[in-house]
Amino acid sequence: DSGVTQTPKHLITATGQRVTLRCSPRSGDLSVYWYQQSLDQGLQFLIQYYNGEERAKGNILERFSAQQFPDLHSELNLSSLELGDSALYFCASSGPPVWGIEQFFGPGTRLTVL
């Protein structure tokens, strides 16, 4: 158990819909990362938050957005969903004091868009 929790574990929805994925980092970690893993691919970095502020952005679509709340949990919002958005979405956390090299991953949310 990495200490990082993600909900829900599975999500099935239709094209055009909007969903929210939730992540709680390990106790004390200030940095949260979101990654997307499509079928048989590596993990693609989407976005990083550090202590409530956006720190880095990867190839995140404009239809996707994220935030980190004062209690340090994070949410990834995916809107106007398309079939190609079906993937595993992982959250990871790291730190402190700033961010450690090692990131701890949650179990992921499997999103299926029908």
Partner 1 sequence: DQQVKQNSPSLSVQEGRISILNCDYTNSMFDYFLWYKKYPAEGPTFLISISSIKDKNEDGRFTVFLNKSAKHLSLHIVPSQPGDSAVYFCAASEGGNTGKLIFGQGTTLQVKP
Which positions touch partner 1 (CB under 8 A)? Answer: 2, 4, 31, 33, 35, 40-45, 48, 55-56, 58, 90, 92, 94-95, 98-108
Cβ–Cβ under 8 Å, residues 32 and 74: yes
Closest CA to 3 of 110, 104, 108: 104
Cβ–Cβ under 8 Å, residues 20 and 6: no
Query: In angstroms, what is the minimal distance from the CB of 107 to partner 1?
Result: 5
Output 10 or 83, the one with its CB closest to partner 1: 10
Query: In angstroms, what is the minimal distance from the CB of 35 to partner 1?
Result: 8
Output 19 or 92, the one with its CB closest to partner 1: 92
What does 53-84 look like in DSSP terms, one character per residue? EEEEE-S--TTEEEEE-TTS-EEEEE-S--GG
Query: In angstroms, what is the minimal distance from the CB of 6 to partner 1?
Result: 8
